[in-house]
């Protein structure tokens, strides 16, 4: 029996279920976003997603006796929520108006590479293996630009800025005073969602008549993408090694590409598939030695 099989055998059914949830749900949110914004305004859709999910999670936690965040914790949650949910997820959502969900997921897969660069701002050392991973990941992005990254200049810029916001917010959040456990996720979703709602109003987004598919996609993002997956991830952080809990970084892009190609009518050229393999190889080199510090995240 291989070491991988022996390791898997030691996990409880609940741990395996949590892993499967994080792998599939966070990988599927890219396709869910694309369906949701077909008839819903991007910023307004995200505001609804995070405000509803955050309010539900906050209410459930308070009912079970969890303490409310302090003013200082609310401020820190607002910083992280704006950078991760507004900057990270928000920019991905705007980019998906012009870019396929599978290609968006492939670009966002470089988040661990940016995280290694940002870690140096707080004095953390970047190893030679991580620098090699950064170089390989950037090579994958070059290949993607040569093949499947057919986007407007704005869409391409947004896809680069999104992981920059997500990883910078993740690294900064490690040095901020945040609420403990799931209350931190609830506070970040509420504050990030509030900022997205303000942006939706200021940009005068148009709310037409949403399709049933968009509403179902939004409901899926609220319940599964913003509540269930966060809960599963929190459970994993407390019950398995960080390297296992953060292993979704290698799986989510593959799930997103499979859904986009299989159900969304998207396609990848042979060069695109090669780019995906190169990007994942770079992420593996960077993220595996730093697995104790989860910094990349879902859409």
* The predicted structure's pLDDT at residue 5: 44
**Cα 253–Cα 123–Cα 288 angle in degrees, nearest 5:** 30
Q: Is residue 4 part of a domain?
A: no
Choose among 298, 231, 232: nearest CA to 60: 231
Q: Is residue 210 part of a domain?
A: yes
pTM: 0.76
Q: Is residue 31 part of a domain?
A: yes
* The predicted structure's pLDDT at residue 189: 92
* Residues 6 or more apart in contact with residue 76 via CB below 8 angstroms: 173, 176, 177, 178
**Domain membership of residue 84 as a residue range:** 11-287
* The predicted structure's pLDDT at residue 144: 64
Q: Are 159 and 90 in contact (CB under 8 A)?
A: no
Lowest mean pLDDT among 87-101, 140-154, 192-206: 140-154
Q: Is residue 298 part of a domain?
A: no
* The predicted structure's pLDDT at residue 109: 66
Count of the separate structural domains present in the chain: 1
Give, in order, the Cα–Cα distances in Å from 159 to each of 104, 110, 131: 7, 10, 22
Residues 162 and 167: their CA atoms lie apart, in Å, by 9
Q: Is residue 257 part of a domain?
A: yes
pLDDT (average), residues 178-196: 90
* The predicted structure's pLDDT at residue 4: 43
Per DSSP, 288 falls in state: T
Residues 191 and 195: their CA atoms lie apart, in Å, by 6
């Amino acid at each position: 029996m291989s070491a991988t099989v022996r390791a898997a055998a030691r996990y409880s059914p609940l741990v395996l279920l949590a892993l499967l949830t994080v792998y599939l749900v966070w990988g599927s949110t890219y396709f869910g976003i694309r369906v949701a914004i077909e008839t819903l305004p991007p910023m307004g859709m995200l505001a609804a997603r995070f405000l509803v999910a955050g309010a539900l999670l906050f209410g459930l936690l308070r009912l079970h006796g969890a303490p409310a965040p302090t003013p200082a914790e609310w401020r820190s949650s607002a910083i992280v929520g704006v950078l991760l949910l507004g900057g990270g997820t928000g920019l991905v959502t705007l980019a998906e108006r012009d870019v396929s969900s599978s290609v968006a997921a492939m670009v966002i897969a470089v988040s661990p590479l940016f995280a290694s660069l940002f870690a140096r701002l707080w004095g953390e050392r970047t190893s030679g293996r991580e620098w090699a991973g950064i170089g390989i990941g950037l090579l994958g992005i070059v290949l993607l630009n040569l093949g499947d990254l057919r986007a407007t200049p704005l869409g391409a810029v947004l896809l680069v800025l999104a992981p920059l916001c997500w990883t910078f917010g993740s690294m900064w959040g490690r040095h901020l005073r945040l609420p403990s456990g799931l209350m931190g996720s609830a506070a970040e979703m509420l504050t990030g969602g509030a900022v997205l709602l303000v942006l939706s109003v200021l940009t005068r987004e148009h709310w037409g008549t949403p399709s049933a598919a968009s509403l179902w996609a939004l409901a899926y993002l609220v319940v599964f993408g913003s509540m269930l997956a966060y809960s599963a991830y929190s459970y994993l952080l407390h019950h398995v090694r960080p390297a296992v809990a953060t292993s979704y970084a290698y799986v989510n892009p593959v799930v997103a590409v499979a859904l986009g190609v299989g159900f969304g009518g998207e396609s990848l050229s042979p060069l695109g598939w090669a780019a995906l393999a190169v990007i994942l190889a770079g992420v593996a080199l960077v993220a595996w030695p730093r697995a104790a510090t989860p910094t990349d995240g879902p859409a």
